[in-house]
Chains A and B, each alone.
Chain A
Amino acid sequence: MTNVYVMEKIPEKIIIPLKQHDGCLCTPLVSKGDMVAMGQKIGECECYDSASVHSSVCGEVISIEETANPNGSKVNSIIIQPAEAVECVDLTPVKDVSASKLVDVIKDAGIVEHYGTPTHKVLRPEGKQIDTVLINATSSEWIGGHYDTSAQYASQMIDALKLLMKAAGASKGAVVLRNDDLESINAFDHLRVDGKLLTVAPLMGKRKLSYYFKNMGSDIIVVSQERIYGQKILDLLTYNLTGRRVSFCCDPTDVGVAICGVKSAKALYDAVHEGRPYIETVVSVSGKVNSPKKILVKIGTPFKDVIDACGGYMGDTGKLIANGAVTGVAQYTDDVPVTKMTTSITVLSADEVIRDVSIDCTHCARCVDVCPVNLIPSRITAFADQGRFDECRQMNILNCVECGRCSAVCPSKIHLLQLIRYAKNSIENAYEDLSSKESPANLKLGCGCSGGK
């Protein structure tokens, strides 16, 4: 059981970005000089694709201004100076509510998936029907919250899965673990769900979830699979688990699959059972800090204070990275806040910073050997470099999960991941306003998704 520490010290200021998800900005409900209580809603969402924002401390709003965000841009944020007194809004558990009410609970609690989509949008996408809910626990930060025992983790996850299924109106749900994560597998094994014993089933060969649902005679199952990682793993994960292909410009919700993370599942459990909105999150701090650990922090805590709570920097600091050393974003300042999308902070020392000069590709095919989705990264990169995006697309560049393994193993030090992202962005931008270009009189070009059939 990994110990999760709780950050006791209240930082000098809390920065709460009004946008902690992919979608539109929230409107602030407070103004400068107002006193706010812990858990008070301070940002309201107007459109469907955004989630509310809550104050994680009790204090005074000292300003509302644009500040640095861990994703690299600047976002309008509410800066709060914590007060001595701890005043909390009334937390009322919301048990036994209807499915549509539950979606409102999720929206009001401001629950957001770690990949950016608000959870209520994943569960109840407009005009789509979800039939399977998956909790993806394959990432390394499996403990997305503060638990006493691993059995508690397992039972809370199952409860959260039931809530998620209820909110989505889905009939089937699964928790997906990692094959080598024995701790979680042991936690879930022999757990009783509705009087039935759970068994963790490893995914074998070409068998998909439908087989396991039938085989176990249950609508809630726990399976384990190989570790996959990357920025855009959702499509691959959907295919691996359900056999449904997600077309271009679509997401798993188009084929009836909702993928949630451990963190949002835990946040939902808390929101329902304790009435607490999503105001704190577990961040794992690693690298060159004096005592690396997993730590429970309030959302909006600056990275600086999180690192101080982990013993401060060790030696010369070179890089500060949010969300993992492989695919994360390097920060230019440590004054950025922890947001709902932050899962880890990595500190690299000055001599770990890579300074490489790219040379020509030697076609050594190391990138081909490590690619998890069978691409030819070297060739795609050559096309991307020349701006030949159609050819990139023909070579299935859109399958790329952006795991960065190709860049990591390249002996010529070519920036494969960057070039692939560049090409992908260009392709996506080209198709962004497709529907407006296509007048209704013309042939209707849909996304081609038909519920996976």
Chain B
Amino acid sequence: MTFTISAPPHKKENITFKKIMWAKVLALMPAVLLSVYLFGLPAIGLVAASIFAAIATEAAIQKAFGQKITIADGHAVLIGLMVAMIIPPEVPLWIPMIGTVFAVGIGKHAFGGIGSYVFNPVLAAWLFLSLAWGSIMAPASYPQTSALFELVLENGAGVMAGVSPFFILLAGAVLIFRRYIEWRIPVAFFVTTVLLAFLLGDSLSYVVLGVVVFGVLFIATDTSTSPTTKNGRVIYGIVCGVLVVVYGHFANYVDGTFYGLFLANCVASLIDNNTLPASYGTETFLQCKYRSIVSKIPFKDRLEVFLDD
């Protein structure tokens, strides 16, 4: 009888990076189908061109540098899909292709591949395209969800990510429920955005948009560009919210989401480094203060009977 030997643990959860990526791609499909209904067949061409360019770039780069080709893990496909979803559907096909080549080539691989990039490749591509071809990249319309029905199908959507806040939210909720994406960032982000927009007097119909929900659930939660510590993720969500509202209040919430998140990416590692958790049993700041005050009380020996509990 032969036995396999290996180091523990001998049982692991059946979760892989590949599975998470394809789940995200699948989760975005309802929005893509709805955008075909809204924008017509060109939307399909846009998605196809974008994904094709992303896969080709990834394969070419990994081949050129003699790395293992990892197209199958779905990360390139996800980048391609997400880039296609945040540019206006009526652009010429070379725009998404240049965008994804930039996203995969510069945004992802120039920084060292998965897990190493500082800026979300999708946002980097959007920023690059917006700066280079500003007039083409301006969406035909900026949306407003004036009726409740618009939360399901947003008529004024300028980009594919904005077609349906409801379906994006549903997809994100399923992913959070399956623990494929985490919940602290989206919750902190969304609450901050809505609260600040409300305090500043922005109408929520300009804030609760498909693009904002997409940014909250799919862009801000990108694992490589967000902090890892528990507190850090909450702070990161708040920072995202503040930046998005700052941009959104003075411009619009579609561009504001992307610019805000891009800037938030810059501070992610700063937040991470400054929120490292202390060892268990370490006193918090307030407990330290309390103890230092108590220690100054002259008859503390008698008090200690109570303090001991």
Contacts and interface: CB of A to CB of B under 8 A. Distances in A.
Nearest to B5: A330
A400 to B, nearest CB: 11
B3 A418 contact: no
A325 B230 CA distance: 28
A404 B6 CA distance: 14
A245 B10 CA distance: 31
A352 B116 CA distance: 32
A327 interface: yes
B134 interface: no
B61 interface: no
Nearest to A236: B280
The majority secondary structure among interface residues of chain A is loop
Contacts of A359: 17, 70, 73, 114
Give the size category of B's interface with A. 35 or more
Contacts of A266: none
A363 B228 contact: yes
A40 interface: no
Nearest to B18: A411
Nearest to A372: B280
A413 interface: yes
Contact of B115 (A361, A366, A417): A361
A418 B7 contact: yes
B219 to A, nearest CB: 15
B203 interface: no
Given A239-B281, A332-B3, A412-B17, A379 B228 contact: yes
B301 interface: no
A350 B192 CA distance: 50
Contacts of A360: 113-116
Contacts of A399: 279-280
- Most chain A CB within 10 A, of B12, B16, B116, B223, is at B12
B20 interface: yes
Given A210-B309, A334-B3, A413-B16, A396 B279 contact: yes
Nearest to A412: B17
A54 B16 CA distance: 48
A332 B281 CA distance: 40
Interface in B215-244: 223-224, 226-230, 233
B277 A331 contact: no
Given A211-B309, A417-B8, A365 B182 contact: yes
A329 B228 CA distance: 31
A363 B223 contact: yes
Contacts of B227: 365
Contacts of B70: 359
A245 B114 CA distance: 39
Contact of B281 (A245, A353, A362, A366): A245
B179 A366 contact: yes
A211 B309 CA distance: 5
Given A362-B114, A368-B228, 18 more contacts: A214-B309, A239-B280, A320-B3, A325-B11, A330-B8, A332-B5, A354-B11, A364-B223, A365-B228, A365-B230, A365-B233, A366-B182, A374-B280, A375-B277, A376-B276, A404-B8, A411-B19, A417-B7
Interface of B: 1, 3-13, 15-17, 19-20, 70, 73, 113-116, 179, 182, 223-224, 226-230, 233, 276-281, 308-309
